[in-house]
A and B are shown apart, each in its own frame.
Chain A
Amino acid sequence: MESTRRFSESRNVESTGDSMNRLYVVESNYTVTGTMADHRLRIKSGEIALFGYALAARLAESVTGLSAFSGYSNKFSQHSWVAVLAEELLNNRGMSILTAGTDHATELHAVVAAINRALGNVNETVSLYDLPFTQPGDNREAFARMVREIGNGAYDTVVIIGTNPSYTAPADLGFDDAISQAAAVIHLSGYYDETSKNAGWHINRAHYLEQWGDGYSYTGVQSVIQPMIQPLFGGRSEIEFLATIIYGEDKTGHELVRETWSGAISGNFDRGWNKVLHDGLLENSGFEAVTPALNGNFDATTREAAGNASSGDGIELVFKTDPKLFDGRWANNPWLQELPDPVTKITWDNVALMSPATAERLGFRGSKFDSKEEPVARIEAGGSTFEIPVWILPGHADDSITVYQGYGRKSIGRVADGIGVNLYAFRTTANMLSISSVTVNNTGRLYTIAATQDHHSMEGRPLIREASLEEYRTNPNFADDMVKVPGIPEGEEHAINLFDGPQYPKYEPQWGMAIDLNTCTGCGVCTIACQAENNIPVVGKREVKRGREMHWIRIDRYFNGDTDNPQVVQQPVPCMHCEQAPCEQVCPVAATAHSDDGLNQMTYNRCIGTRYCANNCPYKVRRFNFFNYPKEFLTTGSDPEIIQMAMNPDVSIRFRGVMEKCTYCVQRISRAKIDTKRETGNSIKPADGSVKTACQQACPAGAITFGDLTDSNSIVSRTKRNNRNYMLLEELNVRPRTSYLAKLRNPNPKLV
C-alpha cells in the first residue's frame, strides 16, 4: 500500500510544470508494477540476475563499491537497456531506487543493495534498518532441518502458530509424515486447514481485529494492535497462546501488551498508554537507519555467483504468490476468488501464463471470443507432472511460464474446494522459486476459464487517453483534442441540446468524481471495497463464465501496441452518473431517475427487470440479478449470524430480477447530509472530504477523488480543472459526472 501511495505521489501531475518519476521494470511475468512502467523489459526470470549483474558491471566503470564486477560481462552487457539505464542512474545519483522482487536469489539482492549504495541512494531514497528481532540465517534451511528432526522423533510436541505447512511446505520435505512422528501436534490457526487436519489439537486463533497485540512499522515505529470486537468464537490470540505455553499463565492479551509496553512508555504509564492508543503509535519511536558497509566477502561471493549464473535453455517454470490469494491463505475467501486478476482478469482458477510466441511454439491456441476454452497443458519437471490450463499473456517473457500458488485446496471450505491446481506439490527445496527447465505438452483437452474481460484491445478508440510527458508539456489539452465532439459551440462546455436541461436546486450539493489514470495501478482494491460496502453478492465460477459477475466497479485492462511487448493501461469504470443518462430514459416504470444532487438513482423496489437500462448504458456498468444471488451468499435467516453481521446494514439487499449499479455510495452521502443538517441547522452540503466513497477510501494510490462540484475549492472540482481531465465517450452527450485524468508516461527518449 505504501509503495503505491509513494509512487503515485510522483505521478500526480497537476500541471505542465509538474515532474514525474520514471519507472523501468525488468520482469518475466506481467505484474501490476509492470503495467505502470514507462519502460519494460521482459526476460526470463532466470536471466534477471544476469541483467542485474550486467548493469552492475556497467556502473562499476563509473562508481566505487562495485569492483566485484570489473571485467565482468554476460549476454546483456551490450543490451541497449544497460547502457541507457546506467547513464540515467549515473545522472540521477541519490535520486533513484533499485529493487528486486522477493523471488530472486540472495546474491542478486545483495548486488542491488550494493548498487543503491554505490549510487548514493542510501539515506536519500533508500533507507536501511537493522531489525532487532530477526536472527541471521537461512530460514528455509532451518525449516528443512527442523522437519527432518521432527521426522526422526527428536521432538514430542510440535506447536504450529498460524502457518499451514501441510499445504505450503516444500513437497520433498514430507511434512505430514514428519509430524505424525510427534506425540502431540498443536495448531493455532484462524481456519481449520490442511495442517489442522493433521494436528492433534486445533486451537482457533482470534482474528487480528479481535485481539490485542503490538508491532513495528517498516521503519520501526511502534504501534499497539487494538481489537474492534471481542473474539466472536472465543479465539485466542497468538500472544495469549504463547504466554500460556511459556509462562503457564492464562493472561489476557490486554494484560500482556500492557506488560510489554511498560518498558516502552516513560513517565506516567496510564497517560502514556492512553496516548499511544489514541495516536495509534508511539511517538518518536523508530529504528535507526544504518549505512552498512560491504561485507568483506561480498566481492568474492558475488564474483562466484555472477560467474555461475546462467539462464539455462528450455522453458522455465516460475512459482509466484497469487496476486489475490497470496500464498493460498485466502482461498476460501469468495471475494478474492471472484476478484479478477489485475492483469489477466481471470477468476476462480490459476493458469500457466506464457507469451504468445511461446504458446505458438508449443502448439497452444488461445480461446476465441465466443468461447472461453483454453488448452490444457501437461507440465513435467523432475518426475512429477501436473495439468493446468494455459493462458496467453501478451508481454510475458518468452520461454517462461508463470504459475500462481494458492489454489487446489481441498476440503477446507466450500469456496476453495476444487478451485485451481495445487502447485505446492511440485515445489521442492531445490526449486523454491522456479524450475529452470520443464517439459510442456498439450493434453488436447480444453478447459473453460472464467475471465471477466473477453476483449483486450481498445480497437483504436480514445477510451484511455495517453501521452508522453513531453507531448503533454507541448499540448496540455491533448486529452480533449483526441476526440472531436460535434455540436459544441464556441466557448461552451457541452454539446447543444434539443431541450432545456434540468435545473438543480441551489441548496443541494452536486456530486462528481474524477479518476486519475496516471496513478491508478489497476490493483482492484476499489472493487473489493465496493463489494464490502454495498453487499454485492458473489456469483461463483459458473456465473462468471456466463458473464454475470456483479462488481459495480470493474477495471478494464487493455493491451496497447505490439502483441509481444505491449503496454498495459487500466481504467476503473464505475457508474458515470450521467446528467443525461440514457439508462433513465428507457426504463418503462421509472425505476431509475435523477436526484436533485446529481445522482443516477436505482430504485430497487420499483425495478421490474426489463434490462433495457443495462442495454442502453454505453459504459455497461449496470449489473442484473439473474438469480437470487444473495440467497447463496447473504442471509436467509438460517445462516450463521456472523454472515448477517458482515453485511452493511445501510445498504438494502437486492432480490432477483432487479438491476443494481454503483450509487456513489449514496448511503454515505445521506449520512453526511443528515449530519451536516444537524450540525449546521440549514445546510445539507457536507464539507469537502467528509464523504468518501468506498472505492475512494480504499484506493492506495489516491486515484479517486469525489465530492461536491458546487464547491469550486473542493478537491474534485480542482481535479476536474486539471487539463488532463476528459470524459469517457464524451461525444454521446450523456454528460457523465465521473471523469478521468489522462495517463502520462515518461519515456526515456533514448530508449524509444
Chain B
Amino acid sequence: MSKAEQQPRKVYGMLAEYSNPAKLIRAAKLVNRAGYQKYDAYSPFPIHGMDEAMGLKESKLGYIVLFHAILGFLGALALQIWTSSIAYPINISGKPFMNIPAFIPVTFELTVLLSAFGAVFGMFFMNNMPRHNNPLFSSQRFEKVTDDGFFICIEASDDFFDEDKTKKLLEDAGAIHIEHIFTLEDR
C-alpha cells in the first residue's frame, strides 16, 4: 500500500473550471450568495464586474501608498533641510540655507519613489506574493489559468465547505470540470 492510499489525503479545496468570463462571473455571484468566504475566482486577466460579483470591498492599497507618500515627502524635506541648514550650512551663491524652492524637485521625486515602493511592495504583501508553494499549482488543469482558463476554487477551510453541497453548487453554476486540490504535504 502506498503512502497515498494509507489515509485519506488532506483536501485543500475544490477547483471548478468554467468556459468564459460570463460564466465565471455568474458562478462567483452564486458562490458569494451562498455565503462562502474563502474562495477565489481565477482568470488570465481581470474581469470587469468580478469585484462586485464576489462582494469584495475596495482594495486597501491606497492607504499603504498614502503612508509611503507622506513618508517620502517628509523624509525628503527633512533630509534636505537638515543637511543644508543644520548639519553643514554652506554659503552657496548667497542663497538661503533653507532654500525651499530648490528643495521641491527632490521632494517630489522621493515622494513618488516611496509611493511606488508602497504601491508595488504593498501590493505584493497584500497578495501574499511571493508564494511559490501554492497548492493550486499541483493541478495540471490549473495551468490554463494564465492562458484561457477560468476557475473558481473554494477552500476546504471555509465554514460552509461541504464535499457534496459545494460540488453541487459549482456544477449547477456551469462548471465544465471539477477536481480536488490537495495540500502540499499530501501531494
A590 touches B95 (CB 8 A): no
Is A327 positioned at the interface, with any CB of B under 8 Å from its CB? no
B91 touches A593 (CB 8 A): yes
Report the separation of the CA atoms of residues A500 and B96 in the bound assembly, to the nearest whole angstrom.
7
A580 touches B94 (CB 8 A): yes
B90 touches A585 (CB 8 A): no
Is B93 positioned at the interface, with any CB of A under 8 Å from its CB? yes
Is B1 positioned at the interface, with any CB of A under 8 Å from its CB? no
B92 touches A585 (CB 8 A): yes
**Number of A-B residue pairs at CB separation under 8 A:** 36
B91 touches A502 (CB 8 A): yes
B95 touches A499 (CB 8 A): yes
B92 touches A499 (CB 8 A): no
A594 touches B96 (CB 8 A): no
From B90, B94, B96, contact of A579 by CB (8 A):
B94
Chain B residues 83 to 133 lying within 8 A of chain A, measured CB to CB, are: 90-96, 99
Q: Is the interface of B mostly helix, strand, loop or mixed?
A: loop
Report the separation of the CA atoms of residues A237 and B16 in the bound assembly, to the nearest whole angstrom.
111
B92 touches A590 (CB 8 A): yes
Report the separation of the CA atoms of residues A595 and B94 in the bound assembly, to the nearest whole angstrom.
10
B90 touches A590 (CB 8 A): yes
Identify the closest chain B residue to A578 (Cβ). Answer: B93
B93 touches A581 (CB 8 A): yes
From A583, A590, A594, A596, contact of B94 by CB (8 A):
A594
Report the separation of the CA atoms of residues A501 and B95 in the bound assembly, to the nearest whole angstrom.
7
A585 touches B93 (CB 8 A): yes
Report the separation of the CA atoms of residues A590 and B83 in the bound assembly, to the nearest whole angstrom.
12
Is A582 positioned at the interface, with any CB of B under 8 Å from its CB? yes
Report the separation of the CA atoms of residues A561 and B56 in the bound assembly, to the nearest whole angstrom.
84
Contacts of B90 in A (CB 8 A): 590, 593-594
A580 touches B93 (CB 8 A): yes
Q: What is the distance, in angstroms, from A701's C-beta to the closest C-beta of chain B? A: 33
Is A398 positioned at the interface, with any CB of B under 8 Å from its CB? no
Contacts of A502 in B (CB 8 A): 91, 94
B92 touches A501 (CB 8 A): no
Report the separation of the CA atoms of residues A570 and B95 in the bound assembly, to the nearest whole angstrom.
33
Contacts of B91 in A (CB 8 A): 502, 584, 593-596
Report the separation of the CA atoms of residues A593 and B90 in the bound assembly, to the nearest whole angstrom.
7
Report the separation of the CA atoms of residues A735 and B95 in the bound assembly, to the nearest whole angstrom.
13
A584 touches B93 (CB 8 A): yes
Report the separation of the CA atoms of residues A282 and B91 in the bound assembly, to the nearest whole angstrom.
53
Identify the closest chain B residue to A616 (Cβ). Answer: B93
Chain B proximity mask over A500-517: 1 for CB below 8 Å, otherwise 0: 111000000000000000
Q: What is the distance, in angstroms, from A713's C-beta to the closest C-beta of chain B? A: 26
Q: What is the distance, in angstroms, from A300's C-beta to the closest C-beta of chain B? A: 74
Contacts of A594 in B (CB 8 A): 90-94
B94 touches A501 (CB 8 A): yes
Report the separation of the CA atoms of residues A581 and B91 in the bound assembly, to the nearest whole angstrom.
10
Report the separation of the CA atoms of residues A584 and B99 in the bound assembly, to the nearest whole angstrom.
14
Identify the closest chain A residue to B84 (Cβ). Answer: A590
Identify the closest chain B residue to A590 (Cβ). Answer: B90
Report the separation of the CA atoms of residues A735 and B91 in the bound assembly, to the nearest whole angstrom.
15
From A578, A593, A596, A735, contact of B92 by CB (8 A):
A593
Report the separation of the CA atoms of residues A578 and B95 in the bound assembly, to the nearest whole angstrom.
13
Q: What is the distance, in angstroms, from A417's C-beta to the closest C-beta of chain B? A: 46
Chain A proximity mask over B15-35: 1 for CB below 8 Å, otherwise 0: 000000000000000000000
Contacts of A500 in B (CB 8 A): 96
Identify the closest chain A residue to B97 (Cβ). Answer: A502
Report the separation of the CA atoms of residues A585 and B92 in the bound assembly, to the nearest whole angstrom.
6
A-binding residues in B (CB < 8 A): 90-96, 99
B-binding residues in A (CB < 8 A): 497, 499-502, 578-585, 590, 593-596, 735
Which 9 A-B pairs have CB atoms at the shortest separation, nearest pair first?
A594-B91, A584-B93, A585-B93, A580-B94, A593-B90, A584-B92, A502-B94, A581-B93, A499-B96
Q: 30 A-B pairs, CB-CB below 8 angstroms?
A: A497-B94, A499-B96, A499-B99, A501-B94, A502-B91, A502-B94, A578-B93, A579-B94, A580-B93, A580-B95, A581-B93, A581-B94, A582-B93, A583-B93, A584-B91, A585-B92, A585-B93, A585-B95, A590-B90, A593-B90, A593-B91, A593-B92, A594-B90, A594-B91, A594-B92, A594-B93, A594-B94, A595-B91, A596-B91, A735-B94
